[in-house]
Amino acid sequence: MSRAGRPRIHVHLSREAIARAGLVLVDRDGLDALTLRNLARELGVGTTTLYGHVRTRDEIVAGVVGLFLDEVDASPDPGEGWDDGLRRVGRSLRAVAHRHPAAFPLVAMAPVDEPPVVDYARRMAELSRDGGISSERFIESWEVIDAFLTGFLLMETAALVRAERQASAVGAAADSDEFRRDMGTVHSDEAFAAALEIVIAGIRATQVSSDQTRPSE
């Protein structure tokens, strides 16, 4: 305890450093490995020291999700239409999910109305507004976009994690079932691109329909 009666804070630790260590831990050892005890061991400190920076596992998870979303390219691009912006962000999100497949379930389960997801959604809303989608239309579109991206990437990252485990299993036998092998490739680059175009076409059609039925001033 310090003179002020508070836990000693290690100067090399910060909430960001803890979150980064958490992401490394999940990438290497899987989602179940993200515990306060394991994280303290990863950082070379005691669990009590960790509590001086974060109070709960949920705070650690929020930090990990924030780092994950910070890797997504949601930067402004003047002159870019909302559809091209969605393609860019969608491809970037998928690339990040491929880099951190074991961590993606944390993103999928994070509360959408709390940081860091709500901050990410605000960036998406700004991109959409700059590209010609109103704030009201964005909320409606987001429900579809988020459902598609989350669902597709959850299945895809689960397959990636499963394939990695199978590849590392000692004496793992090759799968002789051709249909099962084919099913393992349904989440391809082509499938993602085609499904994203369907989502974009649906949003565009809904937007046009809404504009046509809107009373003239």
Is there a contact between 112 and 105 (Cβ–Cβ < 8 Å)?
Answer: no
Q: Examine domains 1-55 and 75-213 and report if their fold is the same.
A: no
* Residue range 142-159, pLDDT digits in tens: 999 999 999 999 999 999
Give φ, ψ of 2 to 5 degrees.
-80, 175
Per-residue pLDDT band for 206 (boundaries 50, 70, 90) equals confident
**Residue written as token pair 């036998």:** 173
The per-residue pLDDT for 5 is 45
Assess if CATH 1.10.10.60 describes domain 1-55: yes
Higher pLDDT, 52 or 2: 52
Question: Is residue 160's pLDDT more than 80?
Answer: yes
The per-residue pLDDT for 94 is 98
Q: Write out the two tokens for 82.
A: 């909302």
The per-residue pLDDT for 29 is 96
Per-residue pLDDT band for 135 (boundaries 50, 70, 90) equals confident
Alpha-carbon distance values, 85 to 80, 143, 200 (Å) = 6, 17, 11
Domain boundaries, the chain: 1-55, 75-213
* Residue range 95-130, pLDDT digits in tens: 999 999 999 999 999 999 999 999 999 999 999 999
Residues 6+ apart with CB under 8 A from 98: 157, 160
The per-residue pLDDT for 4 is 46
Lowest mean pLDDT among 50-54, 62-66, 91-95, 190-194: 50-54
Taking the model in full, what pTM does it have?
0.84
CATH of domain 75-213: 1.10.357.10
